[in-house]
C-alpha cells in the first residue's frame, strides 16, 4: 500500500506513524508513506499557501494552486489515474471499520490535510474523490485524522499484524465489541480469571466469549446491536438477558 499525503506538517505525520506496528510495517516495506509538503509547491516568493477569505470572515483559507501543483506532481509520476484522494474534514462521511476495510483493498491512496479555516472549494471540487470525518468534533487540521485512518487501514493489510488472526477477532469485525481478555496473574487484587477460560474446553470458551461480546455490546453500545447480523441463537441469548422483543 502506498500512501501519498498532502500536508503542511509532514513531520507531525512522520513522527506519529513511524513507531510501533505501523513503523515496523513501513520498515518492512509493506506500506510506504510519501509525505508531500504543500508549501514546497507554492509559487509565491515567501512560500505563502493561504490568504484572506473572499466575502470576509475570520481566519485564512488555503489557496488552490499549491495544493493542485502538489497533487499534479504525484499524479504525473507516482500513481494511477483512478487513485482515490481522501480529504479529511468534519463535513465528510464518518469513518468506520467498513470504510477501513474498503480502503485497505486499494493499491494506493492519497490524502489531503486541510488547515486554517478551510481550503478553497475549487481545488476540492477538482481533485477530491472522498470526504471523510473521524467524528463530530473539530480538529485544528487533518493531520491527526489522517493518522487515525492510516492506522485503521494498515492493520488490515496482510503482514502488518504479526499474528494474522488478530485482525479478525477484534471489536467491530462482526459488528460487536470484543469480549474481555485476561492474562497472568490468575489472582489480581482478589479478582480471579473466569473459570471457563482455564477449563481447557474450547467450545465452552468460544460460547462464553460470544455471550460476553453480545452482553457487552448491549450494555455499552446498544446502537450497534440493531446493525449487527445476529444468528437466531444470538438473538435468543440477548432476549434472555434483557427485555428485547424486536431484534
Query: Among residues 134 and 161, whose Cβ is nearest to ligand ADE?
Result: 134
Residue 123 buriedness (CB in 10 A; 0-12 / 13-18 / 19+)? buried
Cα–Cα nearest to 137, from 149, 145, 129: 145
Minimum separation from the CB atom of position 134 to ligand ADE (A): 4
Binding residues for S-adenosyl-L-methionine: 114, 134-139
Query: Among residues 138 and 203, whose Cβ is nearest to ligand ADE?
Result: 138
φ/ψ (deg, to 5) at 11: -65, -30
- Residues at the contact surface with ligand ADE, assessed by CB under 6 A: 88-90, 133-135, 137-139, 142, 145
The answer to whether 181 touches 205, Cβ cutoff 8 Å, is no
Q: Report helix, strand or coil for 149.
A: helix
Residue 82, all three cell numbers = 483512478
Query: Among residues 85 and 145, whose Cβ is nearest to ligand ADE?
Result: 145
Q: Report helix, strand or coil for 235.
A: helix
Minimum separation from the CB atom of position 17 to ligand ADE (A): 16
Minimum separation from the CB atom of position 23 to ligand ADE (A): 23
Q: How far apart are CA 156 and CA 70, in angstroms?
A: 28
Query: Among residues 36 and 113, whose Cβ is nearest to ligand ADE?
Result: 113
Minimum separation from the CB atom of position 182 to ligand ADE (A): 35
Binding residues: 114, 134-139
Q: How far apart are CA 45 and CA 36, in angstroms?
A: 19
Cα–Cα nearest to 85, from 39, 131, 121: 131
Q: Which residue has the cell 491512496?
A: 109
Q: How far apart are CA 132 and CA 128, in angstroms?
A: 10
Q: Report helix, strand or coil for 172.
A: coil
Query: Among residues 9 and 208, whose Cβ is nearest to ligand ADE?
Result: 9
Minimum separation from the CB atom of position 85 to ligand ADE (A): 14
Minimum separation from the CB atom of position 121 to ligand ADE (A): 16
Measured in whole angstroms, how far is the alpha carbon of residue 50 from the centre of its chain?
28
Query: Among residues 142 and 175, whose Cβ is nearest to ligand ADE?
Result: 142
Amino acid at each position: 500500500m502506498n500512501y501519498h499525503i498532502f500536508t503542511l506538517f509532514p513531520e507531525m505525520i512522520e513522527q506519529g506513524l513511524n513507531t510501533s506496528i505501523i513503523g515496523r510495517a513501513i520498515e518492512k516495506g509493506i506500506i510506504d508513506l510519501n509525505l508531500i509538503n504543500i508549501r514546497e509547491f507554492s509559487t509565491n516568493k515567501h512560500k505563502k499557501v493561504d490568504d484572506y477569505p473572499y466575502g470576509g470572515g475570520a481566519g485564512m483559507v488555503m489557496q488552490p494552486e499549491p495544493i493542485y501543483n502538489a497533487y499534479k506532481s504525484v499524479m504525473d509520476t507516482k500513481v494511477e489515474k483512478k487513485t482515490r484522494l481522501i480529504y479529511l474534514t468534519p463535513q465528510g462521511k464518518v469513518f468506520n471499520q467498513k470504510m477501513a476495510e474498503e480502503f485497505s483493498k486499494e493499491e494506493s491512496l492519497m490524502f489531503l490535510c486541510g488547515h486554517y479555516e478551510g481550503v478553497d472549494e475549487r481545488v476540492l471540487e477538482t481533485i477530491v474523490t472522498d470526504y471523510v470525518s473521524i467524528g463530530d468534533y473539530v480538529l485544528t487540521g487533518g493531520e491527526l485524522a489522517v493518522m487515525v485512518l492510516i492506522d485503521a487501514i494498515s492493520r488490515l493489510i496482510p503482514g502488518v499484524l504479526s499474528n494474522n488472526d488478530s485482525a479478525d477477532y477484534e471489536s467491530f469485525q462482526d459488528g460487536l465489541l470484543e469480549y474481555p481478555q485476561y492474562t497472568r496473574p490468575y489472582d489480581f487484587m482478589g479478582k480471579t480469571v473466569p473459570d471457563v477460560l482455564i477449563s481447557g474446553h474450547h467450545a465452552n470458551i468460544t460460547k462464553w466469549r460470544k455471550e460476553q461480546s453480545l452482553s457487552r455490546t448491549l450494555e455499552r453500545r446498544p446502537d450497534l446491536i440493531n446493525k449487527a447480523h445476529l444468528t437466531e441463537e444470538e438473538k435468543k441469548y440477548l432476549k434472555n438477558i434483557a427485555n428485547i422483543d424486536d431484534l
